[in-house]
Amino acid sequence: MTSDGAPRALSLEVRPATVADVPLIVALIRDLAEYERLSHACVATEDALRKHLFGARPFAEALVAESEGRGVGFALFFHTFSTFEAAPTLYLEDLYVRPEGRRRGVGRALLTRLAALAVERGCRRFEWSVLDWNRPAIEFYIGLGARLLDDWRICRLDGAALAALATAVGPAT
């Protein structure tokens, strides 16, 4: 502990994930799902993650945070595009830090590396979502300088609704 009662920072390495990290990332995704009270919705498998992170057409990338050889956190992200700015953006899909890494610089290190990647890649924005009940995360993000966008809502199609729209026949627009 430091003099103000906070846990000491960890010796930490943040690096791009490799295929060998897939089991760790899936375990961290399951930990995240439990933390977010969404274990029932977590169907991620090592095969699916391996295919979509490292296959012929990768859809996302990941960073892994390690301390003393143990994975303590991850960030999974991908690029989107801002039409108004005609520029790429970086979207953080998920960030998770195991309890032993919280308040010890792991989350900040992952977000700092992602911000640096966004700048290096010419992204004009770095965005993510946070659950409205997750006050510790919200306060942490605001402390880093993030703004909460109250006027935007996430829309989602999945399951039967997605399949129905995908196969809908209607007037051409």
Supply the residues annotated as catalytic.
Answer: 141
Return the closest-CA partner of residue 124 out of 79, 93, 87: 87
> Residue 27 in contact with residue 21, Cβ under 8 Å?
no
Q: Which residues of 30-53 are buried (b: 16+ CB within 10 A; e: fewer)?
A: ebbbebeeeeeeeeeeeeebeeeb
DSSP structural state of residue 30? H
The Cα 125–Cα 119 span in angstroms is 9
The Cα 21–Cα 62 span in angstroms is 10
> Residue 95 in contact with residue 74, Cβ under 8 Å?
yes
The Cα 33–Cα 91 span in angstroms is 19
